Each structure stands twice: as structure tokens, then as C-alpha cells.
Amino acid sequence: MSRVLETIKSFKTKGLGILLVEQRVDAAFKVADRVLIMENGRIVLETSPQQLQTDSDTLFKYLGIKR
């Protein structure tokens, strides 16, 4: 996985946009500029990885992560 993340980071430095669908949230947070959460086919939240990591209620509600 680290090779994939390094490749994504290199694309970012070149200004390329990437849509990443990743179940390993910790990995996605490392490379994402924005996080979009969908529920029933609709975007219900758009935020930064940094903001989401501090929102315990949202992390638990949508990602099942307790902090």
C-alpha cells in the first residue's frame, strides 16, 4: 500500500486530481485534500481530513471509528 500512496502523492505534486475510494481511512487521510462522505447516493459531508479526524461523532456515525 505504501507504494500506491507514494504514487498518489507524486501525482498530487504534478497537479493531477485523483478520486480515491479507500477502506483504510488512515491511508486515505494521509493523501487526501478533501473528504466526501456519501449516504444513500448523496454527498452528506465535504470536509478536510484534518477536520474530520477531530469530529468524533461523524467518524463514528459514518466510518465506525471511535475516538
- Give residue 2's pLDDT: 85
Question: CA-to-CA distance for 27 and 13, rounded, in angstroms?
Answer: 18
Q: What is the pLDDT of residue 21?
A: 87
Residues 38-66: pLDDT tens digits?
A: 999 999 999 999 999 999 999 999 999 99
40 torsion bin: left (phi>0), alpha (psi -120 to 50), beta (else): left
Average pLDDT, the chain: 92
Of the candidates 35, 38, 27, 31, the one whose C-alpha atom is nearest the C-alpha of residue 54 is 35
Are the beta carbons of 12 and 19 closer than 8 angstroms? Answer: no
